[in-house]
Structure 1
Amino acid sequence: MATLAVSAAETAVTGLRTTFRRAGHGPPLLLLHGWGGSSRLWHYTLRDLADRYTLIAPDLPGFGSSPPLGGRLSLERLADWVIAFADALGVERFAINGHSLCAAVAVHVAARYPERVTRLVLTSFSTFRDERERRIVASIHHLMALWLALRRPWMLDVQPIMRLIGSRFFYRLPADHAILRETFADFLAMEQRTALETARGAGSPTITAAMAAVRAPSLIIACRHDQIMPPPGAPVAAARIPHCRLVWIEQCGHLPMLERPQEYHAILSSFLEETTA
Structure 2
Amino acid sequence: MRYTTRVEGGIRYIDTGPRGTSGTGFLLIHGLGGSLEQWIPVIGLLSPTARVIAIDVPGFGHSRTRRGDFDLTAAVERISGVLDALHVDRCVVVSHSISCVVAAGLAAARPDAVRSLVLVSGALLRASEIAQRPSRALRHPKLGLVVLTQFLAGVVPVPRFLLNALASSALLRTVTLWPFVAHPGRIPTEHLVEALTGSGSLAVLRILLTANAIDYHRLLSAVEQPVTLVIGDRDRLIDADDVARLRGMMRVVRVSVIRGCGHWPWLEQPSQLAARLTSSETS
Smaller-chain TM-score range?
Answer: 0.7 to 0.9
| Change over 3 Å in CA distance of 1:267–1:155 after alignment to 2 | closer
Give, in angstroms, the shift of residue 168 of structure 1: 1.7
The one-letter code sitting in structure 2 at the alignment partner of 1:21 is I
Provide the alpha-carbon RMSD of the alignment. Answer: 3.1
| Change over 3 Å in CA distance of 1:39–1:85 after alignment to 2 | same
Q: Select which of 152, 168, 178 maps to 1:167.
A: 178
Residue 6 of structure 2 is matched in structure 1 by 10
Asked whether the equivalents of residues 38 and 64 of structure 1 are also in contact (C-alpha less than 8 Å), the reply is yes
| Change over 3 Å in CA distance of 1:140–1:172 after alignment to 2 | closer
Q: Aligned partners of 1:56 and 1:255: how far apart in 2?
A: 19
Residue 238 of structure 2 is matched in structure 1 by 230
The one-letter code sitting in structure 2 at the alignment partner of 1:181 is V
Corresponding position: 1:42 with 2:39:
yes
Q: Aligned partners of 1:203 and 1:139: how far apart in 2?
A: 19
| Change over 3 Å in CA distance of 1:12–1:256 after alignment to 2 | same
Residue 191 of structure 1 is matched in structure 2 by 201
Q: Aligned partners of 1:51 and 1:179: how far apart in 2?
A: 18
Unpaired stretches in structure 1, ≥5 consecutive residues: none
Q: Aligned partners of 1:142 and 1:28: how far apart in 2?
A: 34
Residue 140 of structure 2 is matched in structure 1 by none
Unpaired stretches in structure 2, ≥5 consecutive residues: 138-142
Deviation digits for residues 219-276 of structure 1 (CA, Å, limit 9, x no counterpart)? 111112113x3233123213310253222222211111221222222222112112xx
Asked whether the equivalents of residues 166 and 184 of structure 1 are also in contact (C-alpha less than 8 Å), the reply is no
Give, in angstroms, the shift of residue 129 of structure 1: 5.1
Corresponding position: 1:59 with 2:48:
no
Q: Aligned partners of 1:149 and 1:51: how far apart in 2?
A: 34
| Change over 3 Å in CA distance of 1:158–1:266 after alignment to 2 | closer
| Change over 3 Å in CA distance of 1:150–1:98 after alignment to 2 | closer
TM-score, normalisation: structure 1? 0.80
Asked whether the equivalents of residues 28 and 54 of structure 2 are also in contact (C-alpha less than 8 Å), the reply is yes
Q: Select which of 214, 217, 239 maps to 1:208.
A: 217
Asked whether the equivalents of residues 35 and 100 of structure 1 are also in contact (C-alpha less than 8 Å), the reply is yes
TM-score, normalisation: structure 2? 0.78
The one-letter code sitting in structure 1 at the alignment partner of 2:216 is I
Q: Select which of 141, 145, 148 maps to 1:142.
A: 148
Give, in angstroms, the shift of residue 19 of structure 1: 2.0
The one-letter code sitting in structure 2 at the alignment partner of 1:28 is G
Q: Aligned partners of 1:202 and 1:244: how far apart in 2?
A: 28
SS at match of 2:254: strand
